[in-house]
Amino acid sequence: MNSHLNRAGGSVERPAITRREAIQRAAIFLGAALSPSLLSGVMRAQSAPAAAGAKPVYLTAQQLETAAALAERILPRTDTPGARDVGVPAFIDLMYGKYLSPEEKKLFAAGLAEVETASAAAHRRAFPQLATAQQDALLTRLAEAARNREGTFFYQLKELTVVGYFTAETVGKTVLHYDPVPGRFDACAPIAEVGNVNWTK
């Protein structure tokens, strides 16, 4: 029950855009002026061999590394595991390959490309190689540009990261309150007794 409280999310309806358009748009919204030569350099960088790390099945190695670096800044390792620790990059790769619609895939790939374009424009380095403060600054600009809208790359990235993280086994069993058969219900229990963590869903 309570389905009435699940406000249905809008579907992603957005015209497909080419990588070049994505890069140009990124240049506009991130305030970077890209010269044609830099643009072609970025295009080449997109297809350059990827850094070492988890092997993607569906994304390119570089796309995966960009997505992993973004996810890790959204949910970084602290005294609890970070996005990389619990397999969020592999989850994003799987979702990209098997679960996103063609339109959602285009949005996601274009978004990753935009991030790399912006990174190259601002720092002349790939996003995963940036200092975390630089990554956070870029992520902040991405978030501000998204302006709380569904159907943006940033929304999609956050959804994949947050869902991938909080539905992961490590998080479900060691970070959250894991009790699949509670057997009883205490409607008002002090947090001091039950712990200050969400229940595993």
Partner 1 sequence: MATIQGAGTKQNTYDAIVIGSGISGGWAAKELCEKGLKTLVLERGRDVKHGDYPTAFKESWEFEGRTKLPPAEIAKQEKQNRTGYTTHPASAHWFVNDLENPYSEEKRFDWMRGYHVGGRSLLWGRQSYRWSDLDFEANAKDGVAVDWPVRYAEIAPWYDYAERFAGISGSLEQLPHLPDGQFQPPMELNCLEKDVKRRVADAFGGRPLIIGRVANLTQPLNGRGSCQYRNRCIRGCPYGAYFSSNAATLPAAYATGHLTLRPFSIVSQLIYDEARGRAIGVRMIDAETNAVIEYFAKVIFCCASSVASTSILLNSKSARFPNGFGNDSGELGHNLMDHHFKVGASGLSDKFADMYQKGQRANGIYIPRFRNLNQATKQKDYIRGFGYQGSASRSDWSRGIKELNLFGPKFKADLIAPGPWRLGIGAWGECLPYHENRLFLNDKVRDKWGQPTVTFNCDWKENEYAMRKDMKASAVEMLEAAGLKDVTPFDDVSAPGLCIHEMGTARMGRDPKTSILNRWNQVHAAPNVFVTDGACMTSASCVNPSLTYMALTARACDYAVSELKKRNL
Structure tokens at 136: 């956070």
CB 190 within 8 A of CB 168: no
| Binding track, positions 98-137, relative to partner 1; x by CB under 8 A | xxxx----------------------------------x-
Residues comprising the chain, all counted: 201
Q: Is 10 a residue that touches partner 1 (CB under 8 A)?
A: no
Placement of tokens 């978030």 in the chain: 143
Residue 68: Cβ-neighbour burial (10 angstroms; 0-12, 13-18, 19+)? buried
Nearer of residues 129 and 167 to partner 1, judged by Cβ: 167
Tell me which of 22, 26, 95, 118 binds partner 1, using CB under 8 A: 95
Tell me which of 3, 15, 33, 47 binds partner 1, using CB under 8 A: 3
130 DSSP 8-state letter: S
Structure tokens at 75: 């949910």
| Binding track, positions 136-165, relative to partner 1; x by CB under 8 A | x--xx--xx-xxx-----xx--xx--xxx-
Please name which of 89, 43, 53 lies closest in space to residue 68, comparing C-alpha atoms. 89
CB 171 within 8 A of CB 78: no
Nearer of residues 47 and 185 to partner 1, judged by Cβ: 185
Q: Is 36 a residue that touches partner 1 (CB under 8 A)?
A: no
The footprint of partner 1 (CB under 8 A) covers 1-9, 73-76, 78, 80, 91, 94-95, 98-101, 136, 139-140, 143-144, 146-148, 154-155, 158-159, 162-164, 166-169, 172, 175-176, 179-194, 196-201
